[in-house]
Amino acid sequence: MKFKELDLDPRLLSAVDEAGFEETTPIQAQTIPLVMSGDDVIGQAQTGTGKTAAFGLPLLNAVDTQSSDIQALIISPTRELAIQTQEELFRLGSKKKVKVQSVYGGSDIRRQIRALKSHPQIIVGTPGRMLDHINRHTLKLHNVKTVVLDEADEMLDMGFVEDIESILSNVPNKHQTLLFSATMPKPIMKIADKFMTEPKIVKIKSKELTADKIEQYFVKAKEFEKFDLMTRLFDVQAPELALIFGRTKRRVDELTRGLQARGYNAEGIHGDLSQDKRTSVLRKFKAGKLDFLVATDVAARGLDISGVSHVYNYDIPQDPDSYVHRIGRTGRAGHSGVSVTFVTPNEMGYLRTIENLTKKRMEPLAPPTDNEVLKGQLESVKQDIKDTLAHDKHLDRFNDAVEELLSEYSADNIARIFLSESIKDAESVPVKIAPERPLPSRKVSHSRSGHGRRSGGRSNGDHRGGNRRRNDRRDGGRNHDDKGGKRREHDNKRNGRSKKSFKIRTNLEK
């Protein structure tokens, strides 16, 4: 379906056209008409499917720009997602002159209060800060027509359920509610039952949720081996733009420092960084000025980043849903992507659980050989030479030195010395990554079909939920470093799988 087939304001269609969009994504095609007709909607879709425009365009279409009242609320789990959503709605609604304001923790509340006095029509914010403004009476909801719960499962994981219920309880009875989530656990459905009226359900097919365009691999390794293995893979795979996920803030900091020490262009983001620093890092990554972004789940959730070629799960996630969110950053817009997950022997049960969720097996990778690493490094140096010859206009300043060298040495030997100096053994720079406490051992069915049952569910102490974490999460975006339980070795052998030698990626074979 083309956007022009929807009954949208011509000013919105003009903004959509300028953004380069012609056809709707499946979530947009199914959701926009329902929202415009006034229905409550539950949309099951992961990040990257275009859901912001799916709810944003009908919201912008309905806004009365002559009114100074707040007409729509969008509740987001993190500061980054709130900012991104605000920016996208501002862009799409600019020709209609819709005012959109974001409110989130980690930013001066007095500045936000002043911004709210300019009478925005749409508010995007994290639950804690939004509730704070409601309690201060700086956020007046008497004329709100629509409420959107974005990334609802993430807000559940972060302990925001009570805040969400408090916000919804402050909205007038007659309003439209839209809920979007990658997964639909029971607590999410309870919110839907309590606050939604006969919602229409839009569900993206399972094959779209499992990211068929992503090649998914795992590397079985001991904890102390993972960093060196990962950097060797970088040399072989030559990722254009890569995301690396660590389980904790400490892990992200250590990985970032280690990569920088070995000469990789990398930065990290997590909840303890200042908002200015996080925004700066993300801007550099989106602009292609960074090659590697290291992040925690919470800091990266909801980020709409295009062009990611590889996702590396340095730590396997304890929650399999997080895996879907992580790898969903690559393989977008028809492009293929690669994900590599490092798994310690006692974490194999988590790998099986992820496969049961995605209905897709990860292929095992053997560590790259020295020859494969060297070949990848040589390809990188050769590409650098081509780029320099194509763009450096000042190479003639070396003419005299070149003539002198060629008079004494052969071109072959000069090339060999250049390559020898250009290619360094990264592992000669020692990097020590402190081990995290192992995840508690998990046993699952050994069914190869991907439909096996877990032999055990989450315990009441599961680190992903619980109101005990709500106060730590109120302002959105803070990552909590729960590191698991006691170590129990459980090495599940993967019957019937032969470990493959690593195949150098096509971008090295061009």
pLDDT at 40 > cutoff 90: yes
* Residue 471 banded pLDDT, cuts 50, 70, 90: very low
Across 42-51, 122-131, 493-502, the highest mean pLDDT is recorded for: 122-131
277 vs 253: which has the higher pLDDT: 253
Average per-residue pLDDT for the chain = 81
State how far the Cα of 299 lies from the Cα of 280, in Å rounded to an integer: 14
Query: pLDDT digit string (tens) for 197-228?
Result: 999 999 876 444 445 678 999 999 999 999 99
Nearest to 60 by CA among 9, 132, 22: 9
* Residue 273 banded pLDDT, cuts 50, 70, 90: confident
* Residue 376 banded pLDDT, cuts 50, 70, 90: confident
Helices 51-62 & 79-93, crossing angle to 10 degrees? 50
pLDDT at 21 > cutoff 50: yes
221 vs 358: which has the higher pLDDT: 221
Lowest mean pLDDT among 89-103, 125-139, 414-428: 414-428
Q: What is the pLDDT of residue 20?
A: 66
Question: For 505, what's the count of Cα atoms within 13 Å in the CB-facing half-sphere?
Answer: 21
State how far the Cα of 76 lies from the Cα of 27, in Å rounded to an integer: 18
pLDDT (average), residues 379-384: 83
* Residue 351 banded pLDDT, cuts 50, 70, 90: very high
Contact assessment for residue 319 and residue 298, using Cβ atoms and an 8 Å cutoff: no
20 vs 112: which has the higher pLDDT: 112
What are residue 266's phi and psi, to 5 degrees? -135, 150
277 vs 311: which has the higher pLDDT: 311
In degrees, to the nearest 5, what angle opens at C-alpha 38 toward C-alphas 153 and 169? 50
pLDDT at 83 > cutoff 50: yes
pLDDT at 500 > cutoff 70: no
Q: What is the pLDDT of residue 79?
A: 87
State how far the Cα of 266 lies from the Cα of 245, in Å rounded to an integer: 13
* Residue 252 banded pLDDT, cuts 50, 70, 90: very high
pLDDT at 229 > cutoff 90: yes
Q: What is the pLDDT of residue 333?
A: 57
State how far the Cα of 316 lies from the Cα of 25, in Å rounded to an integer: 30
Q: What is the pLDDT of residue 205?
A: 63
* Residue 233 banded pLDDT, cuts 50, 70, 90: very high
- Domains by residue range for the chain, with CATH: 3-208 (3.40.50.300), 210-368+431-508 (3.40.50.300)
pLDDT (average), residues 398-420: 89
Across 22-26, 30-34, 387-391, the highest mean pLDDT is recorded for: 30-34
Q: What is the pLDDT of residue 104?
A: 93
pLDDT at 190 > cutoff 50: yes
pLDDT (average), residues 354-380: 85
CA distances from 393 to 381, 388, 398, 414 (A): 19, 9, 12, 22
Nearest to 107 by CA among 252, 279, 253, 267: 279
Lowest mean pLDDT among 25-34, 313-322, 477-486: 477-486
DSSP per-residue string spanning 379-396? HHHHHHHHHHHHH-S-GG
Query: pLDDT digit string (tens) for 445-468?
Result: 443 333 333 333 333 333 333 333
pLDDT (average), residues 102-109: 90
Question: Could you tell me which residues come within 8 angstroms of residue 227 by beta carbon, excluding any fewer than 6 positions away?
Answer: 255, 258, 314, 431, 433
* Residue 2 banded pLDDT, cuts 50, 70, 90: confident
